[in-house]
Structure 1
Amino acid sequence: MKYDYLIVGAGIFGSVFAYEAKKRNKTCLVIDKRNHKGGNIYCENVNGINIHKYGAHIFHTNDKEIWDYVNQFAEFNNYINSPIAFAKGKFYNLPFNMNTFYQLWGTKTPAEAQIKIQEQKKAFGKENPQNLEEQAISLVGKDIYDTLIKEYTEKQWGRKASELPSFIIRRLPVRFTFDNNYFNDKYQGIPIGGYNVIIDNLLKDIEVKTETDFFENREYFESIADKVVFTGQIDEFFGYQFGTLEYRSLKFEHETLDIENYQGNAVVNYNDAEYPFTRIIEHKHFEFGKQEHTVITREFPDKWEIGKEAYYPINDDENQQKFDQYKALAQNTKNVIFGGRLAEFRYYDMHQIIGSALVKIKKEFNEN
């Protein structure tokens, strides 16, 4: 059978594209090398608890159009992301807000906290920060940097903070209100029943083949469709001819515990270098579960190499220059649409991936 579109990758981008193409009476085949649909938002049900298999995913957006769009496929609960950091033997609220400043210094008013931060910025900050360390200190002072940023960031990226680019932390949220809501977005929540509900509804009545690697039979797959929608790594698509793009990877250790409540919060960051993991996720709290058992996941940062899962693109100057070369090739490649986190070498939130897929669909069908 000849398809209108072969879609490589059953994550959000590929699933939205397939759904929209089908709506326009096009035939699609979706393939994915993993043994499941959903990409990184896949949930595995373990004794009634939906496990975020590839790390915590909280849907959030300010875009009403995107929010209305995704609500076609699932009902969302009212979960608010309020992570906690464990650092130097104490718990701190995130993002940095009046609770954090009180926990750190005992300051009780916004004026007191602002004075404290300004004093530290003046003493330790740099006028033109050249790296992440200098940028962070110039934004929030040395105490917050030393306690809540330095070791966590160095674990996450596998490099010293003084060797990381400043832009990574330039938009660090600092609030002078008692507000633990991590996101500023108007719409936020977790799909009731987990993210698989969304993916299953997007791909309903669309042919999907899992455990199917595009690159193992590339010539065949390219021959069975008029166009390819590619959501994998763009450098792999072009045979790494300009070199590999760099990522950080992750490893996960899942554990079922015979207790009702392990840590009292969905996400607890472990900032100190003595802990090899960056955070522990307790999944039942995403959906306010009342089960008598719980499942936790320790998330470990990992050095990426070819063959490992690519999670966070390293968007430094060297990688960006390589990507620009691949992007130029992509723009001149006929009958292939590149989209999603790996194909666009961008760290996308879920709502941004949906937005990107809808933009590509409109362009593809001349609906702009």
Structure 2
Amino acid sequence: MFDWMIVGAGFAGSVLAERIASQRNESVLVMDTRDHIGGNAHDYKDEAGILVHRYGPHIFHTNAASVVDYLSQFTGWRPYEHRVLANVDGMLLPIPINLDTVNRLYGLDLDSAGMEAFLATRREAIDNIQTSEDVVVSTVGRDLYEKFFQGYTRKQWGLDPSQLSRIVTARIPTRTNRDDRYFTDTFQKMPSDGYTAMFANILDHPNIRLELGQKWNPARDRPRARRLIFTGPIDEYFDHRFGALPYRSLRFAHETLDVEWAQPVATINYPQTEEYTRITEYKHLTGQTHPKTSLTYEYPTNEGDPYYPIPRPENQALYKQYRTVAEGLSDVWFVGRLGAYQYLNMDQVIGQALATFARINSDRAPTAMVRAAE
């Protein structure tokens, strides 16, 4: 009998396992369907000896000092600022859209004030911004929307931006300067030895036992622990009693080339052409020196592991049905992107896990944990 069982060895499950084991001196069984730790952030050396991310690129960035302080107990860091180009009209242009994007695309020579005036003539006035399309056309106009956002979003989500919540494209800024960094967070670094090495350090505690390659079986596994933290899909826990929550998945194609470099930046997006959404070259992220290079192509799909909760009002309404039932449980916590049915970045998941542990440690009622996980 363990004090805790945690389903999922990604960020949410691993952070909570470490906190419970080290701060409460309680026993924790961590179970994961996959045969490795680290969840979607898992990395490994491929046959060529190049460190790659099995489930697509994971770029660490945050403004939360508490998250950095926590992870820094388990990893060193290497500086890295992510840059992305979009293949648009046969050119590789900075994304998010900035001053150079507009100047090169339209053959202009604008300064920041000129770009603001240029965009002002193209924006569409929308009184009530509801969808992802509304966000973009009200910011940069329809032509830039169609070139950079519409096709990419259709591929990524299998839906037109007009069918998706505004939160999807609201995450992507538009800049009137030449800042070509994808993120502007105060902390932008990568784990010096990779994510898997960091997870191994997080989970290296005598109170933690790992069982990998084991699918959660409630009849068999729930009696093995007094309390449960579930980081898988919340609808799966309840056997889809209200219906399945929709998720978008990804298929990855990995490739190694006999050249030192294949791309000028880590990631190139393809909003207009190709079936894949983007190609990532990992040595840009890791700083590894190697005569060959490895790439990953991403193909969005409706089949496969759940990656992205689909942000539509009817899906949130369905999730709230599951959340209501979850709030009635006295010994189960739901945490993480799948447990809270939210599109969360890595640092947000870690922050959520740390906040959940603080509430567990204060002996507050489990119903508060469910709300905190949102």
Q: TM-score range by the shorter chain?
A: over 0.9
SS in 2 for 1:93: strand
Q: Is the 8 A contact 1:246 1:319 kept in 2?
A: yes
Distance in 2 (CA, whole Å) between partners of 1:129 and 1:344 is: 25
2:18 paired with 1:19: yes
Q: For 2:15, give the aligned amino acid.
A: V
- 1:107·1:113 contact (CA, 8 Å) conserved in 2? no
Measure, in 1, the Cα distance between the counterparts of 2:155 and 2:337.
22
Deviations 1:40-92 (A, max 9, x none): 00002123321111111111111111111111111111110111111121111
Corresponding residue for residue 235 of structure 1: 235
Corresponding residue for residue 338 of structure 2: 342
Aligned twin of 1:97: 98
Name 1:158's counterpart in structure 2.
158
Residue 149 (1) aligns with residue 173 (2)? no
Q: 1:204: how far off?
A: 0.5
What is the root-mean-square deviation in Å for CA atoms of aligned residues?
Answer: 1.5
1:218-258 CA-to-partner distances (Å, cap 9, x unmatched) read: 22211111111111000010011111111111000001111
**Shift in Å, 1:130:** 4.7
For 1:166 and 1:30, the matched residues in 2 are separated by 36
> In 1, distance between residues paired with 2:351 and 2:135?
31
Matched residue SS, 2:280: strand
Aligned to 1:311: 307
Partner of 1:29: 29
State the distance in 1 between where 2:92 and 2:267 align.
Answer: 12
Q: Match for residue 115 of structure 2? A: 113
Residue in structure 2 matched with residue 6 of structure 1 by the alignment: 5
Q: What secondary structure is seen at the aligned counterpart in 2 of 1:341? A: helix
Q: 1:355 to 1:134 in 2, by over 3 A?
A: closer
Q: Which amino acid aligns with 2:53?
A: H
**Aligned position for 2:318:** 322
- Partner of residue 358, structure 2: 362
1:53 and 2:75 matched: no
1:69 — aligned with what?
70
Q: CA deviation at 1:290?
A: 1.9
Query: What runs of 5+ residues in structure 2 fail to find an aligned partner?
Result: 365-374
Alignment deviations for residues 283-307 of structure 1 (CA, whole Å, 9 cap, x no partner): 1110122200111110011114xxx
Paired amino acid for 1:111: A
| Shift of residue 172, structure 1, vs aligned partner | 3.4
Residue 204 of structure 1 pairs with residue 200 of structure 2: no
Aligned to 1:298: 297
- 1:78 aligned partner: 79
User: How far apart in 2 are the matches of 1:365 and 1:95?
Assistant: 41
Moved more, 75-84 or 138-147: 138-147
Cα shift at 1:360: 1.0
Aligned pairs for 1:116-127 within 5 A = 116-121=118-123, 124-127=124-127
* Partner SS state of residue 280, structure 1: strand
Q: Is the 8 A contact 1:6 1:229 kept in 2?
A: yes
SS of 1:197's equivalent in the other structure is helix
Identity %: 36
- Mapped partners of 2:188, 2:167: distance in 1: 26
Closer/same/farther in 2, CA of residues 87 and 342 from structure 1, 3 Å limit: same
- 1:171 CA displacement: 4.4
Q: Give the Cα–Cα distance (whole angstroms) in 2 for the partners of residues 346 and 141 of structure 1.
A: 28
2:251 is paired with a residue of what secondary structure?
strand
CA contact (8 A) 2:163 2:312 kept: no
CA distance in 2: counterparts of 1:278 and 1:174, whole angstroms: 20
Which secondary structure does the structure 2 equivalent of 1:353 belong to?
Answer: helix
> Shift in Å at residue 333 of structure 1?
1.1
Moved more, 107-116 or 158-167: 158-167
Structure 2 distance, partners of 1:114, 1:311, is 36
Q: Secondary structure at the match of 1:264?
A: coil
2:367 is aligned to none
CA offset at residue 142 of structure 1?
2.1
Aligned mates of 1:91, 1:139 — CA distance in 2: 22
Normalised by the length of structure 1, the TM-score is: 0.94
What SS does the corresponding residue of 1:342 show, helix, strand or coil? Answer: helix
| TM norm structure 2 | 0.93
Residue 265 of structure 1 aligns to a residue in which SS? coil
> 1:147-226 maps to which residues of 2 (within 5 A)?
147-205=147-205, 206-215=208-217, 218-226=218-226
What is the CA–CA distance in structure 2 between the aligned matches of 1:193 and 1:102, rounded to whole Å? 39
Looking at structure 2, the residues matched to 62 and 130 of structure 1 have their Cα atoms a distance apart, in angstroms, of 27
- In the alignment, the residues of structure 1 paired with residue 135 and residue 358 of structure 2 have an alpha-carbon distance, to the nearest angstrom, of 39
Greater mean alpha carbon deviation, residues 135-144 or residues 343-352:
135-144
The answer on whether the counterparts of 1:117 and 1:140 sit within 8 Å (CA) in structure 2 is: yes
Give the drift of 1:160: 2.1
The AA in structure 2 aligned to 1:55 is: G
Matched letter for residue 34 of structure 1:
R
* Equivalent-residue separation in structure 2 for 1:253 and 1:172 (angstroms): 26
* Residue matched to 1:284: 283
**AA in 2 matched with 1:102:** N
Aligned mates of 1:38, 1:294 — CA distance in 2: 23
Cα distance in 2 for partners of 1:230, 1:282 equals 33
Read off the aligned partner of 1:157 and give its amino acid letter. W
In 2, distance between residues paired with 1:26 and 1:139? 51
